[in-house]
Structure 1
Amino acid sequence: MKYNPVQNYINGKFVDATTDKTLDVISPLDGTRLSTVPLSSSDDLNKAVKAAKEAFPKWSKTPIKERVQVFFRYKYLLEKNLDELAALISEENGKTIGESVAEIEKCIELTEFACSLPQLVTGELLEVSKGIECRTERIPLGVVASIVPFNFPAMVPNWTIPNAIALGNCMIIKPSEKVPLTLTRIATLLKEAGLPDGVFNIVNGNSEIATAICAHPDIEAVTFVGSTKVAKIVYQTATYNFKQCLALGGAKNHLIVLPDAKPEMTAQNITASMSGCAGQRCMAASAMVAVGDVDHIINKICEEAKKVVPGKNLGAVISKQSKERIEQYITEAEQQGAKILVDGRGATVEGKENGTYVGPTVIDFVKPEMSVAKEEIFGPVISIMRTNSLEEAVAIENNNPYGNAASVFTQNGSYARFVIDKASAGMIGVNVGVPVPREPFSFGGWNESKFGSGDITGKSSIEFFTRLKKSTIKWNPEAGTNWMS
């Protein structure tokens, strides 16, 4: 075992869980046992919440311009330790080093936004009548929690950590039991940056802890990122217990390709979108809708896909179970009449035979009713459906239950505008394979890709992590009395 057993992080200290139940942490790269992670109990959660609740009064009363100084230092520490963090992400998640570096670079951008919050939460003041002022200010909620997935061990936690804490909240976070090591290191960086004890806490575990978080009476708000099936459960449980909740679910992102699209650019974008992070991201290209004769572009996509090699510029999928599930989707599509243009089944990497790799896979002549066209595969697989019109292509996109992202590849502005207007998704791309908004624009989908109001990052997160307080003030009695006073 390469690393020490993972511990919880409570009140500024790493502590053992109260249970002896553990799971192994396995590297998808080569099957190496990296560590063990505890399956914490509700007693462990109670300790973390108690620490956060006790830290909240002092932290919330600290002026926001002082709170964000922690994140100026944290940003510097992310930059200083970038290579170490990237290596750790690659080891426990299976990403390539380049993808892991990009993940930390996104964390740095998210932290930069948090440092700007003092300029965004200044409130408003207006004399609404003679001698009477109305004022608004943003007040932190208290103890908040985030339940985060395996696919981005650093970035998704940093969707919420900097903003929630800079806005004055104290936090509990539950990492995926598959990738707990990166968040453990992030805890040490936050402490080194000067974050007071108790403001940030980690409780490791499985679904038992997630359920306990959603039911805990002293947790005011919960964010979740994961599958739609679990997102619905988290949202229902948290809101049933009168908590604010934002739960992000799965996706089936459609890329509409028109005959006038630039072949090289389109092929490179689509291939990178479907194979980046081994397809294990909710913004991955999963379904392509080919409008008319675009065979020349499909051929280019196949050429580009063959340049993506497991173990070189393609990482591993998270587990053996994931590999088997992804390959089963490909086999089922083939049995149903689809044509496999590039086949990633059975991929192995020399010297890493115990790694869990799936090669890039391009499937043509897919019908909308096939599972591979409807369900989230979460692997480096793209399914191509063919249509004769843009209207039919948009109808296919609209009929899918998800709504994270959609993109169109064209050089025609009116076609692009049609897709922007008609696609049923929260994030739209034009000649962009992964249309993730950059800060300060917020991340969030529609339909069954998101449950709750607002978005998880950017300016929209301010409303989620604070309450709006309104004050009406009158000092001068000589102003008289009117209907307002």
Structure 2
Amino acid sequence: MPLAKLPRSARLSVRSYATTGSRSLGTLSATAKAKAEKISQEWKGTSATGGNTKNFVGGEFVESKADKWIDVVDPATQTLLTRVPETTSSEFEQAVSAASQAYKTWSRTSVLTRQRFVMDLQYQLRQHGDAIASSIVLEQGKTYADAQGDLLRGLQVVETAAGIPSALLGQTIEVSKDMDTSTRRLPLGVCASVAPFNFPAMIPLWTIPVALATGNTLVLKPSERDPGAAMIIAELCQKAGLPEGVLNVVHGTIPTVNAICDHPAIKAISFVGGDRAGKHIYERGRATGKRVQANLGAKNHAVLMPDANKNHALNSIIGAAFGAAGQRCMAISVAVLVGNAQSWIPELVERAQKLKVSQGFEKGADLGPVISPAAKQRITGLIASAEEEGGVVVLDGRGYQVSDYPDGNWVGPTVIEATTTMRCYRHVFPLLPMCDRTDRRPTYSEEIFGPVLIVLKADTLDDALAIINENRYGNGTAIFTQSGATARKFEREVEVGQVGINVPIPVPLPMFSWSGNKASFLGDVPFYGRHGIDFYTQNKTTTALWKAEDAIGNKASVDMPTHH
């Protein structure tokens, strides 16, 4: 929302931040400062005390010669932590060249050697989990416990990838006398991964172990907003024995992403992030013949039935809506209250009010700041739009203050009673003149991506299903009920790829595969699990004929030939 259209109170708040939220004002707490200094001292590729983040190319942490740098600041204080380079074209070419060269040997390395690397990486990640989690708290703003969860969910993918020998088993059958047909899974070549800001450890770990265990090499571009976790993981890969050039890390924004999409040596791209970037990467990458898997936006609904276990349902919704300050692609951003469950709103608000918002190292913090001042302004603008359109903000997180951190990007838990026609929820049509809008189908839904829960009301389960199914996104959904028949009907009829029954965030464990659908995913093959192996491999089928009578050492026949 343009600044001029915000309510006066919101305009004053934004302007105050713009004039007083200077980075020079921010000072880290004693705990955060100690963590930052330790990261800067112990890790080669990143800094948390104002130094530069390096590229990782050919097994070396290299200072970029970029002429454009991006400041990474602590969202709780605006303190400068590090500067990220806009990688130059020559530096990017060096990274791809290193990956191409390494592929020649890494792809021929035995699967047991690659398995050993994954197992050693798992050990390194567990040994140095504090450094990764601390970097996430400083750069992204999560609480320390949530940052540990970020790492641990990625670690589960690493541990699953340790079973790579079984995952790469081929098939053989004798199709005719002395003739066999066999299949093998072979790597693609140089692959690329573009990661988002909201999971700076988990998403790189969705791709690194699977891509490398299958014999590919990888160019990783972390988010320019919080690259520290990825740089620590890269160094841990090195400690785990990964040969130089197998993993390379480059930084930047649109130019670096475009270089990934365009480079002919890169065979596949994995992306997690927003709609606009994801569609751009999918279309541009596919235009150059690459495989692309792209996880995009979401609008995740939870249905609360009147027969649900109220205590469990309310606690689940609060955790899923407000954890990580709502900055999860699987966050529950919409609660659909059916029938008598609508009377639970006051208790929902009461529980949400008890959440503690603070810097991530502070004791008892439930959620931290949002990632940037721009994100805060966008979120508060959407809250204001609900008021303008007749919604009821029953819990207002705007203007939230944390006394020890006056410059933080704070938005408190917010609950809005709304309808599906309001901007905070609704589908948005193409920006065309009204007379030209012959196609009234929606193009996208507004994703708040903050600690804001939209509450909708429905009379029946069928009404709730209609609301969800009319939404174009299909990442995740949940239902809370004690009726098996209700749960079964919901699971069968809801048009969403990942369904939770009394489970608020139904992200599958990595022995399964990511299954978000509809407009939440672009591509043919999803992330991790069996499908992750499919994405990073190609099948080769060989048919061979070796006639038994041609075997060396056969006894000569002296019988009259009959040609039978």
Task: Name the TM-score, length of structure 1 as normaliser.
Answer: 0.97
Answer yes or no: is 1:297 the counterpart of 2:344: yes
| Paired position in structure 1 for 2:311 | 264
Alignment of 1:316-395 (within 5 A): 316-364=369-417, 366-374=418-426, 375-395=446-466
Alignment of 1:380-419 (within 5 A): 380-419=451-490
Q: Out of 16, 19, 27, which is 2:66 matched to?
A: 19
Matches of 2:76 and 2:118, distance apart in 1 = 32
Q: Post-superposition shift, 1:103?
A: 1.2
Matches of 2:451 and 2:115, distance apart in 1 = 38
Which range moves more in the overlay, 294-303 or 463-472? 294-303
Matches of 1:300 and 1:440, distance apart in 2 = 37
Q: Is the 8 A contact 2:115 2:162 kept in 1?
A: yes
Which range moves more in the overlay, 129-138 or 6-15? 129-138
Which range moves more in the overlay, 71-80 or 1-10? 1-10
Answer yes or no: is 1:444 the counterpart of 2:515: yes
Answer yes or no: is 1:472 the counterpart of 2:543: yes
Matches of 1:71 and 1:299, distance apart in 2 = 49
Q: Out of 92, 108, 126, which is 1:45 matched to?
A: 92
Matches of 1:298 and 1:409, distance apart in 2 = 15
Q: Post-superposition shift, 1:298?
A: 2.4
| Paired position in structure 2 for 1:433 | 504
Q: Is the 8 A contact 1:264 1:300 kept in 2?
A: no
Matches of 1:292 and 1:133, distance apart in 2 = 63
Cα deviation 1:380-418 (Å, max 9, x = unaligned): 111011111111111110111111011111111111111
Cα deviation 1:328-368 (Å, max 9, x = unaligned): 1111112211111211111121111111111111111x111
Matches of 1:107 and 1:288, distance apart in 2 = 28
Matches of 1:447 and 1:108, distance apart in 2 = 28
Matches of 1:44 and 1:315, distance apart in 2 = 35
| 3-state SS in 2 of match to 1:294 | helix
Cα deviation 1:227-249 (Å, max 9, x = unaligned): 11211111000000111111110
| Paired position in structure 1 for 2:335 | 288
| 3-state SS in 2 of match to 1:290 | strand
| Paired position in structure 1 for 2:441 | none
Answer yes or no: is 1:113 the counterpart of 2:165: no
Q: Is the 8 A contact 1:454 1:464 kept in 2?
A: yes
| Paired position in structure 2 for 1:90 | 137
| Paired position in structure 2 for 1:75 | 122
Answer yes or no: is 1:125 the counterpart of 2:162: no
Q: Out of 220, 223, 248, which is 1:201 matched to?
A: 248
Structure with bigger gyration radius: 2
Q: Post-superposition shift, 1:478?
A: 4.8
Matches of 2:202 and 2:464, distance apart in 1 = 32
* Deviant stretches of 4+, over 2 Å: 295-300
Alignment of 1:165-244 (within 5 A): 165-244=212-291
| Corresponding pairs, count | 478
Q: Is the 8 A contact 2:155 2:202 kept in 1?
A: no
Q: Post-superposition shift, 1:324?
A: 0.8
Answer yes or no: is 1:157 the counterpart of 2:204: yes
Matches of 2:345 and 2:215, distance apart in 1 = 50
Matches of 2:503 and 2:346, distance apart in 1 = 19
Matches of 1:475 and 1:451, distance apart in 2 = 44
Q: Would the alpha carbon gap of residues 300 and 128 (structure 1) be closer, same or farther in structure 2, given more than 3 Å must change?
A: farther
| Paired position in structure 1 for 2:531 | 460
- RMSD of Structure 2 on Structure 1 (CA): 1.2
Q: Post-superposition shift, 1:473?
A: 1.6
Matched to 1:94, the amino acid is: G
Which range moves more in the overlay, 166-175 or 343-352? 343-352
Q: Is the 8 A contact 2:154 2:201 kept in 1?
A: yes
Q: Post-superposition shift, 1:33?
A: 0.6
Which range moves more in the overlay, 409-418 or 297-306? 297-306
Matched to 1:351, the amino acid is: D
Q: Is the 8 A contact 1:8 1:14 kept in 2?
A: yes
Q: Is the 8 A contact 1:235 1:246 kept in 2?
A: yes
Matches of 1:68 and 1:4, distance apart in 2 = 35
Matches of 2:232 and 2:152, distance apart in 1 = 16
Q: Post-superposition shift, 1:129?
A: 2.3
Matched to 2:161, the amino acid is: A
Answer yes or no: is 1:64 the counterpart of 2:101: no
Matches of 1:302 and 1:165, distance apart in 2 = 46
Matches of 1:80 and 1:252, distance apart in 2 = 36
Q: Post-superposition shift, 1:316?
A: 1.1
Q: Is the 8 A contact 1:167 1:466 kept in 2?
A: yes
| 3-state SS in 1 of match to 2:519 | helix
Matches of 1:338 and 1:184, distance apart in 2 = 44
Q: Post-superposition shift, 1:3?
A: 4.4
Matches of 1:207 and 1:306, distance apart in 2 = 39
Matches of 1:363 and 1:240, distance apart in 2 = 42
Matches of 1:222 and 1:16, distance apart in 2 = 25
Q: Out of 367, 389, 395, which is 1:314 matched to?
A: 367
Matched to 1:445, the amino acid is: G
Cα deviation 1:228-281 (Å, max 9, x = unaligned): 121111100000011111111010001111110110000000000001111001
In structure 2, stretches of 5+ residues that fail to align are 1-47, 359-364, 427-445, 551-564
Q: Post-superposition shift, 1:226?
A: 0.7
Cα deviation 1:201-249 (Å, max 9, x = unaligned): 0110011100110011110001111111211111000000111111110
Task: Name the TM-score, length of structure 2 as normaliser.
Answer: 0.83
Q: Post-superposition shift, 1:299?
A: 2.8
Matched to 1:358, the amino acid is: V
Q: Post-superposition shift, 1:428?
A: 0.5
